[in-house]
């Protein structure tokens, strides 16, 4: 990790840059795939699956037989772990349900708001260097609780034309309605346009690499909503001498192993801790199976020394981390004043991994600074709020003149007439 000593505020933007390609670098590729799939459907999907995943499939769909076989392949210990996570995630997301909001704004004027599920949603589950079956839990559980009728899951096949058995087991557990062997740009494009066999959806969820992120953003140009721009994973830890250096190092590495384009940042008021964490990273790194990936991510990452908590907090809010771990003598200061973060983890015994898997919170979170404007996935992500109103004769008498005056002032005579004709008949 690159050490940065007490940087000036004017240099923060440069220091906090993400190690990602610009959209211009990859938008051309994404556009090409989109247009081809829009025109040729399944034929183009098959072509790009063969090109990017190295396998030619006779059928994109996962059969009941494949699901049953996958369930047998998953160990009982892993099934139990997934069930524990399923319970906690379900508990947390069920608690997010809200009641109908109803109010009489004026005598005779009733307004209310109700939530309705998004009917058709697409879930993108990465399956390349790591089969993220945990993401199935994070997306399918709230979709099921919300009442989405069609839950379409896409995940890239391996060289044998299969999806990892843990993904299939979890999808089956969570009530996914269709599972499709397609990944990357072609999956997002297929969900955007629909093909002869792959349903079009109204909203696409899920993390992915930079190509998937750009593909999701492009899908919005064709009338499909997305959860958020969720690209390469990132983590920022703020820590001081009260933190355990080995814990901090393990948390930084847990995100670094996601991908070479991941970024981790340590912010500290203690140079001694920074040195200790750097040493621990080197010790722990050599033991990791994904050492090569984590090493590349660490090269893109930084340790930043600042003089006090106020400077640290301002820098962190400027960065807007996806994951934010707080291990300091004054955790409440950060917890109470953090404004931009996807998910916050507090204290020495709250690893980011807990949120990734089993504590109950959702791990699909905004990256690349989008936590300044986006929330992470939650139950409301799978619903729409619809407003209703009902006005009686007394109600239209009470607000009618105000409507007429406002409509006339805007030069919209037909708007005024719609009220006037009613008032005349009362």
pLDDT at 175: 96
Q: Are residues 52 and 201 in the same domain?
A: yes
If one counts the domains in the chain, the total is: 3
Q: Are residues 7 and 28 in the same domain?
A: no
Residues 6 and 303: beta-carbon distance below 8 Å: no
Query: Which residue's structure tokens are 């999956």?
Result: 187
323 annotated active-site:
yes
Per-chain mean pLDDT for the chain: 95
Alpha-carbon span 326 to 330, nearest angstrom:
9
Domain range for 411 is: 392-425
Q: Are residues 213 and 260 in the same domain?
A: no
Is the Cα dihedral 346, 347, 353, 354 positive or negative?
negative
**330-333 long-range contacts, CB within 8 A, separation 24+:** 333/309
Other CB atoms closer than 10 Å to residue 189's CB: what's the count?
28
Q: Are residues 208 and 254 in the same domain?
A: no
- Could you say which of 234, 280, 322, 352 is catalytic? 322
Residues present in the chain in total: 426
- Enter the tokens of residue 257: 């192993």
- Could you say which of 86, 164, 323, 363 is catalytic? 323
Other CB atoms closer than 10 Å to residue 182's CB: what's the count?
28
Which amino acids are annotated as binding site, given as ranges?
124, 186, 209, 233, 255, 258, 323, 356, 410, 415
Mean pLDDT of 231-254: 95
Q: Are residues 117 and 254 in the same domain?
A: no
- pLDDT tens-place string over residues 92-128: 999 999 999 999 999 999 999 999 999 999 999 988 6
- Enter the tokens of residue 200: 């079009």
Query: Does residue 374 belong to any structural domain of this protein?
Result: no
Q: Are residues 78 and 161 in the same domain?
A: yes
287 annotated active-site:
no
CATH number at residue 307: 3.40.50.1980
- pLDDT tens-place string over residues 331-342: 999 999 999 999
Query: Which residue's structure tokens are 């090493």?
Result: 295
- pLDDT tens-place string over residues 396-414: 999 999 999 999 999 999 9
């Amino acid at each position: 990790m690159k050490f940065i000593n007490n940087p000036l505020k004017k240099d923060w933007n440069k220091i906090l840059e993400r190690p990602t390609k610009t959209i211009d670098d990859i938008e051309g590729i994404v556009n090409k795939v989109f247009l081809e799939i829009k025109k040729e459907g399944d034929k183009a999907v098959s072509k790009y699956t063969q090109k990017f995943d190295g396998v030619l499939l006779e059928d994109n769909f996962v059969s009941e037989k494949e699901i049953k076989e996958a369930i047998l392949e998953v160990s009982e210990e892993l099934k139990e772990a997934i069930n524990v996570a399923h319970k906690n995630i379900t508990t947390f997301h069920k608690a997010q349900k809200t009641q109908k909001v109803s109010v009489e704004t004026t005598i005779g004027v009733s307004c209310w708001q109700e939530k309705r599920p998004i009917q058709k949603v697409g879930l993108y589950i990465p399956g390349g260097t790591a089969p993220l079956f945990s993401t199935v839990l994070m997306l399918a559980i709230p979709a099921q609780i919300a009442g989405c009728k069609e839950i379409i899951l896409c995940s890239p096949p391996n060289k044998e034309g299969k999806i990892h058995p843990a993904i299939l087991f979890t999808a089956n557990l969570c009530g996914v309605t269709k599972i499709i062997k397609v990944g990357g740009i072609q999956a997002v494009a297929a969900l955007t346009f629909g093909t002869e066999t792959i349903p079009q959806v109204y909203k696409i969820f899920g993390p992915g690499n930079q190509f998937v992120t750009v593909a999701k953003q492009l899908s919005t140009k064709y009338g499909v909503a997305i959860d958020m721009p969720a690209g390469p994973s990132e983590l920022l830890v703020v820590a001081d001498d009260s933190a355990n250096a080995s814990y901090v190092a393990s948390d930084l590495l847990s995100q670094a192993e996601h991908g070479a384009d991941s970024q981790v940042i340590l912010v500290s008021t203690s140079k001694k801790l920074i040195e200790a964490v750097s040493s621990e990273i080197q010790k722990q790194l050599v033991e990791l199976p994904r050492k090569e990936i984590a090493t590349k991510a660490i090269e893109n990452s930084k340790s930043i020394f600042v003089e006090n908590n106020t400077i640290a907090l301002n820098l962190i809010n400027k960065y807007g981390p996806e994951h934010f771990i707080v291990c300091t003598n004054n955790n409440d200061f950060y917890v109470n004043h953090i404004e931009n973060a996807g998910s916050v983890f507090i204290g020495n015994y709250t690893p980011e991994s807990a949120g990734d898997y089993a504590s109950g919170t959702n791990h699909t979170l905004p990256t690349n600074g989008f936590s300044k404007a986006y929330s992470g996935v939650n139950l409301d992500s799978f619903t729409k709020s619809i407003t209703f109103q009902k006005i009686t004769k007394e109600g239209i008498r009470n607000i009618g003149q105000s409507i007429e005056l406002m409509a006339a002032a805007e030069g919209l005579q037909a708007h005024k007439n719609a009220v006037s004709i009613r008032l005349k008949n009362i």
